Amino acid sequence: MIQEITSATNQRVKDWAKLQTKRGRCKQGKYLLDGWHLVKEAIAAQAPLLEIIFTAESKHHTDLPDDLDVPYFQITDSIAKKLSTTPSPQGIFATVALPEPNAINPDEVQGAWLFLDQVQDPGNIGTLVRTADAAGFAGVVFGNGTADYHQPKVLRAMQGSQFHLQLVDADLTDWITSFRKRALPVFGSELNEEAKQYDQVGKYQDFALVMGNEGNGMQADLLALTSDNLYIPIKGYAESLNVAIAAGILMFQLRA
Amino acid sequence: MIQEITSATNQRVKDWAKLQTKRGRCKQGKYLLDGWHLVKEAIAAQAPLLEIIFTAESKHHTDLPDDLDVPYFQITDSIAKKLSTTPSPQGIFATVALPEPNAINPDEVQGAWLFLDQVQDPGNIGTLVRTADAAGFAGVVFGNGTADYHQPKVLRAMQGSQFHLQLVDADLTDWITSFRKRALPVFGSELNEEAKQYDQVGKYQDFALVMGNEGNGMQADLLALTSDNLYIPIKGYAESLNVAIAAGILMFQLRA
């Protein structure tokens, strides 16, 4: 049951290409995984796959199962180039249903959570989610103004971690307030030598860490809501750390 | 003494554009800084500046000193676009002399050193240097097969840290052997649960940390030369950490 597509002007191909944009993803209710690692992660996680798309060549290099209950499409190399945002695509793709806007209640969640306040760079966002996954975090909350995490560059840097932890779009004020009401620590982060040194606050099971925008850091009104704001001392002459590096150091330090 | 250039086919413009390639940089013995932050860092560090290049517009947005002892060139916006590898260039550039191939003797260096074994991604390399700078490291050694660090993407991610610490191209076998002879610890890193846990080895003033290739990790013959190989336990479901994230966690953990 493999359908072959050879024309780049085929309507399906045009629709898949539109998944590179947020508008296209919203309209079609799905997003595109590019590359065998991500497709394999989606299959392993039993993600809601909608279509498998591959070139003849790519089938030889992967152990793509042929019995998934979704339509399979064989495409040409030039169509693969059109669908991919990388210079040398592997030629294997899958579409996945966008998750339902989830109504996760911050009053009920457990574990460690990463809150992102207006983080902008897609590579940073993907790396932040991958690192939160590696650090054993339960989820990541994307505050208003944080970039869309189904865009190709974020997906590439996330390396499939969206299938391992919970991703939530929400208002950070609500989540911080809820954690504080439950007496769970919420650590802000700022480049301020008067903040608390990051390795002096102990380790926790249930808590939140907030990371801010690359250029401007966290918003002042959020900094005012946290239990403590943490600082990583800069020992050399760099002005700051990359946000994903800082978050990696903090997450591995704080998580019990 | 400002020379105005309005034609994109001007020979100087052609030469500057060639600085995007390694061949062009070697041939001309210089590299190009793109953006005010990097140019400002170079001026502050008294780096060997050769030329300042700017658009009329960019002069209004920066406090570029007009008394540097180098030629100034005013260019058009379209020339700026030609010189830059970013979609919206700030319109301010400088050329800097490539450092002399340095004969730093590993038998004599002090402090903490980061060794890079075949790290490939330009963004990772730049972030590694910036993070080593922030962690107070003395220098970074680029082993054979590690990507060139004067390419635009590395420079962008380094954010000027090349002016703050020593960067050396060298054979890592020599450097590891030298450190071991001096009884200085050399920590390798590997994704191997039988390696030593990274937070169980203490803190050091003089030591080296080796980070390996994104896909393959460190070369086996180098892993065999180190004093200890370290492992960061993965608590979630991610297969690994990004190399720059892992290095950030290790550098801040190990550096006294």
CB proximity list for B173: less than 8 A, separation 6 or greater: B221, B222, B225
Look up residue B217 and give its DSSP letter. B
Question: Alpha-carbon distance B256 to B203, whole Å?
Answer: 5
Helices in A21-135 by DSSP H: which ranges? 22-28, 36-44, 56-61, 77-83, 122-134
CATH fold of A112-254 reads Alpha/beta knot (3.40.1280)
Let me know if B201 is exposed, middle or buried by CB neighbors in 10 A (0-12, 13-18, 19+): middle
User: Residue A60: which pLDDT band, with cuts at 50, 70 and 90?
Assistant: confident
Shortest CA gap A84–chain B (Å): 19
User: Residue B59: which pLDDT band, with cuts at 50, 70 and 90?
Assistant: confident
Shortest CA gap B166–chain A (Å): 12
CATH for A2-97, options being 3.30.365.10, 3.30.1330.30, 3.40.50.10860, 2.60.120.460: 3.30.1330.30
Contact state of B161 with A237 under an 8 Å Cβ cutoff: yes
| Inter-chain contacts counted by CB atoms under 8 A, chains A and B | 93
Q: What is the pLDDT of residues A128-148, one digit of tens each?
A: 999 999 999 999 999 988 878
User: Is-same-fold flag (A2-97; A112-254)?
Assistant: no
Higher pLDDT, A255 or A62: A255
Shortest CA gap B97–chain A (Å): 21
pLDDT at B193 over 90: no
Q: What is the pLDDT of residue B101?
A: 76
Question: Alpha-carbon distance B191 to B193, whole Å?
Answer: 7
Q: What is the pLDDT of residues A175-226, one digit of tens each?
A: 999 999 999 999 999 988 888 999 999 999 999 999 999 999 999 999 999 9
pLDDT at A246 over 90: yes
Q: What is the pLDDT of residues B218-242, one digit of tens each?
A: 999 999 999 999 999 999 999 999 9
Of B237, B249, B252, the CB nearest to A133: B237
pLDDT at B24 over 80: yes
Of A134, A239, A245, the CB nearest to B234: A134
Of A96-110, B23-37, B128-142, B242-256, where does mean pLDDT reach its minimum?
A96-110
For chain A, the domains span 2-97, 112-254
Number of residues that make up chain A: 256
Question: Alpha-carbon distance A64 to A249, whole Å?
Answer: 36
Residues of B near A (Cβ–Cβ under 8 Å) read 123, 127, 130-137, 157, 159, 161, 164-165, 232, 234-242, 244-246, 248-249, 252, 255
The interface predicted TM-score (ipTM) is 0.91
Which residues of A fall within a CB distance of 8 Å from B131? 238, 241-242, 245
Question: Alpha-carbon distance B94 to B51, whole Å?
Answer: 5
pLDDT at A227 over 80: yes
Phi and psi at residue A230, in whole multiples of 5°?
Answer: -105, 155
pLDDT at B29 over 90: yes
Residue A243: what residue type?
V
